[in-house]
Amino acid sequence: MAMYVELFERDRYYGGMLRESREDEFVSNVFGPLRNFETTTWLVELLAKAFRGNDHEAAIEGGYTLEFWRRFAPPADRETPENETEVSCVIEAGSVTFLVIARYWHELSRQTAHDVERDQVIRTFDAGYAALGDACRVLVLTSDTEPPDIVSRYWNDPDLLVAKMTDPPEGVAPEVLARSIGWTNWSELREALASRIGDTPINRTQWNFAKDLVAYLDLVSTRGRGLLVRAGQGHAESDA
């Protein structure tokens, strides 16, 4: 029996896999199997939408690795105290590293414990850039139909992004830094996986995993809070 069918049955008895306190499990259930996918086309498609047409195909063509819950130290020169930043998952692909902020039930944090002006997106990008330099990309994944304002404000005002960084790099245009932040939603991830089901380059096991992942996301959208939206609603229009 497929892995996610078993998970669905467990949910009957434990009655809590889809509740807010299990969001970490939900993220690992979705991204865990993707660590073993040989095909990268689903990721190329997803990132092209998330980063508004910026192409990462060359970086991804050699494959990728995926790691959960990696922690990044705050920038060394940061004056306001800050703990390590834990990222939902990290996708390393060639010369680029994607720090994925994945939220389904919970909203993005608008402030940190020690700084009410520092939201989750800038905190993650700042810590990631301090550790990785220009290889850093931040991919925000939420259930919204439109890019959250916490993301879009940095697209619309790249100078604000630079102003909020602890140690912004010299010689890098604010617009270039802003293009390092992408956003997508769970439905677009579902569609990227669904479009792979008809492909043949992956083996049968991975093909079944793709089907199960699509079914799992569909289940969550109906038995969770119904937050999944059809891909393409609003996101494409927002880039116009």
Give 145-205 as a DSSP string. Answer: SS--HHHHHHHH-HHHHHHHSSSPPTT--HHHHHTTEEEEEHHHHHHHHHTTTT--SS-HH
| Lowest mean per-residue pLDDT among 71-75, 152-156, 210-214 | 210-214
Q: Is the pLDDT of residue 60 over 90?
A: no
Q: What is the rounded average pLDDT of the residues 171-186?
A: 96
The residue range of the domain holding 90 is 3-238
The alpha carbon of 211 is separated from its chain's Cα centroid by a whole number of angstroms, namely 20
Q: Is the pLDDT of residue 21 over 60?
A: no
Q: What total number of domains does the chain contain?
A: 1
Residue 72's pLDDT band (cuts 50, 70, 90): very high
Rounded-to-integer distance, Cα 30 and Cα 139, Å: 15
Q: Token pair 């306001």 is at which residue?
A: 80
**C-alpha to C-alpha distances, 50 to 8, 26, 157, nearest whole angstrom:** 29, 21, 18
Rounded-to-integer distance, Cα 38 and Cα 33, Å: 11
- Please give the pLDDT value at position 203: 66
Rounded-to-integer distance, Cα 56 and Cα 45, Å: 9
